[in-house]
């Protein structure tokens, strides 16, 4: 029986942790317990199918990189001579898919460097104040600074720069790349703009049962961006990391779960449908998210509004799909909507899979103090403050990556 409560184990060892009757991540659908690492791939495949069926839908195959085409739009020395700023446009099949634009800061290192890639909320021009970055021409939500009638204006430049401390990345020896999720799919219930329509059968106007929704499309774009990064001589293909904040954090987890090429994943305040346990019942609930953002997940997920206990999965299993790769879950004390406690509990509940696969799992048994990095293969950090991603957060991401990634390309 898959819905095994982990209660006894947790109550004995982890007083602060609630199991809520969450599914055991290491029991196969036929009830077989997973006791050895060799059994995990089959359990992982089942778990992946559950997330496809109940949450994200199935995405099309990723186009091979040799069928994609990248064109450099901008390349200049930047960051006081310490690095380069580059923007590329990536075209990919099938015909009719809109391209994505990737903005990248690359340190001058003389050897291939690790990188982070993450989606942004309002366009690359907002991530950097540099006037040579292309002004996005796709739909952007309003209100947002410098966005008029859902289009970016010059006044939007640099308005999201605090989330993308490129110079800090370069100083820390990391490339930092970002792309706008709206290039893949606008963040509204519309299936005509963005990548979905290129895959529709004649007459089809929205994704069919079991097909990808918006988060699935955004995750697919992150994977295409990763293909680009992995093909660049300045970047180490074995150390491409993912970072996502909030809805983009939900997306980073899904992309990282699907694509083992990502070496490390950071979820920043991803909350409901991200790192937080749905059954915890605090902060945002399924009925909230699915009503306000009906396009993010598949209709089958909506059927569990108010019935989280009946879901055949919970979000710790999404974290477990990233095992044994390093995973950092970050919360903010005031961001109760994202349920820091539920995010932490999810890490605890994913840890057995990480331990099964030979890592140190998760090194905390109760919520750590503020500003303390739990530095195990599943990492956790909670800081004071609100829902946002800042340079101080990035310092934690880099500290975790420094600790958990191989140091050099040859290792
Ligand atoms: C809303 C939404 C969250 C989401 C957040 C964001 O608050 O309810 O689920 O994470 O937006 O993406 O900023």
The predicted-structure confidence for 171-216, as pLDDT tens digits, reads as follows 999 999 999 999 999 999 999 999 999 999 999 999 999 999 999 9
394 CA distance to ligand 1 middle (Å): 20
- Condensed to tens digits (0 to 9), the pLDDT of residues 214-257 reads 999 999 999 999 999 999 999 999 999 999 999 999 999 999 99
Q: Whose CA is nearest to atom 12 of ligand 1?
A: 247
- Express each pLDDT in 339-364 by its tens digit: 999 999 999 999 999 999 999 999 99
Query: Would the pLDDT of 279 be above 60?
Result: yes
Q: Which of 136, 227, 246, 278 is catalytic?
A: 246
Q: What is the pLDDT of residue 374?
A: 98
Is residue 15 annotated as part of the catalytic site, yes or no? no
pLDDT band at 407 (very low <50, low <70, confident <90, very high): confident
What is residue 11's predicted lDDT score, i.e. its pLDDT? Answer: 36
Separation of 228 CA from ligand 1 center, angstroms? 28
Atom 13, ligand 1: which residue's CA is nearest? Answer: 246
pLDDT tens profile 20-69? 999 999 999 999 999 999 999 999 999 999 999 999 999 999 999 999 99
The CA angle 198-203-209, to the nearest 5 degrees, is 75
Please report the pLDDT score of residue 220 as a whole number. Answer: 98
For residues 267 and 256, the answer to whether their CB atoms sit within 8 Å is no
Number of H helices, E strands in the chain: 12, 11
Residue nearest to atom 8 of ligand 1 (CA): 289
Q: Quick one: which atom of ligand 1 is closest to the CA of 288?
A: 8
Nearest Cα to Cα of residue 102 among 242, 234, 254, 228? 228
Q: Which one has a higher pLDDT value, 366 or 14? A: 366
Give the helix/strand (H/E) hosting 294.
none
Question: Atom 2, ligand 1: which residue's CA is nearest?
Answer: 289
Gap between the Cα atoms of 366 and 272, Å rounded: 21
Q: Per-residue pLDDT averaged across 274-292, rounded?
A: 98
Written as one string, the DSSP assignment of 332-352 is ETT-GGG-HHHHHHHHHHHHH
Instruction: Please list every protein residue whose CB sits less than 6 Å from any atom of ligand 1.
Output: 246-247, 271-272, 284, 289, 337
CB contact set of 208 (below 8 Å; sequence gap of 6+): none
Q: Which atom of ligand 1 is nearest to the CA of 247?
A: 12
Active-site residue flag, 381 = no
SS3 68: coil
**Residue 152 in this model has a pLDDT that exceeds 70:** yes
For 75-111, what is each residue's pLDDT tens digit? 999 999 999 999 999 999 999 899 999 999 999 999 9
Residue 283 backbone zone (phi > 0: left; psi -120 to 50: alpha; other: beta): left
Bridge partners for 90 per DSSP: 70, 100
Higher pLDDT, 135 or 4: 135
pLDDT tens, position by position, 296-341: 999 999 999 999 999 999 999 999 999 999 999 999 999 999 999 9
Q: What is the pLDDT of residue 2?
A: 45
């Amino acid at each position: 029986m898959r819905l095994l409560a982990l209660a006894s184990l947790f109550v004995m060892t982890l007083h602060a942790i609630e199991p809520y009757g969450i599914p055991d991540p290491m029991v196969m659908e036929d009830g077989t317990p997973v006791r050895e690492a060799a059994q995990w791939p089959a359990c992982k495949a089942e778990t992946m199918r559950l997330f496809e069926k109940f949450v994200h839908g199935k995405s099309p195959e990723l186009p091979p990189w040799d069928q994609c085409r990248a064109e450099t739009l901008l390349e200049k020395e930047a960051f006081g001579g310490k690095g380069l700023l580059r923007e590329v446009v990536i075209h990919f099949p099938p015909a009719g898919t809109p391209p994505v634009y990737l903005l990248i800061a690359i340190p001058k290192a003389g050897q291939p460097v690790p990188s982070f890639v993450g989606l942004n909320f309002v366009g690359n021009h907002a991530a950097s104040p540099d006037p040579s970055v292309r002004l996005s021409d796709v739909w952007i939500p309003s209100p947002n600074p410098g966005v008029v009638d859902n289009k970016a204006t010059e006044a939007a430049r640099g308005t999201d720069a605090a989330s993308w401390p490129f110079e800090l990345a370069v100083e820390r020896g990391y490339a930092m790349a970002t792309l706008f999720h709206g290039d893949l799919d606008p963040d509204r219930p519309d299936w005509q703009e963005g990548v979905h329509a290129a895959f529709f059968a004649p007459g089809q106007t929205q994704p069919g049962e079991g097909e990808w929704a918006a988060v699935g499309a955004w995750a697919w774009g992150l994977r295409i961006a990763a293909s680009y990064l992995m093909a660049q001589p300045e970047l180490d293909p074995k150390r491409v990391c993912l970072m996502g904040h909030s809805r983009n954090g939900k997306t980073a987890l899904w992309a990282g779960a699907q694509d083992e090429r990502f070496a490390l994943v950071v979820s920043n305040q991803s909350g409901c449908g991200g790192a937080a346990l749905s059954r915890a019942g605090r902060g945002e609930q399924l009925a909230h998210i699915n009503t306000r953002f009906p396009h993010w997940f598949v209709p089958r997920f909506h059927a569990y509004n108010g019935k989280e206990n009946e879901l055949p999965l919970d979000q710790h299993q999404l974290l477990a799909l990233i095992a044994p790769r390093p995973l950092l879950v970050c919360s903010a004390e005031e961001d109760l909507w994202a349920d820091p406690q539920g995010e932490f509990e999810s890490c605890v509940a994913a840890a057995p899979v990480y331990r099964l696969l030979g890592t140190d799992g998760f090194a905390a048994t109760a919520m750590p103090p503020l500003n303390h990095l739990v530095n195990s293969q599943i990492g956790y950090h909670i800081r004071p403050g609100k829902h946002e991603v800042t340079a101080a957060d990035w310092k934690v991401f880099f500290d975790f990556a420094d600790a958990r990634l191989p140091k050099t390309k040859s290792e």
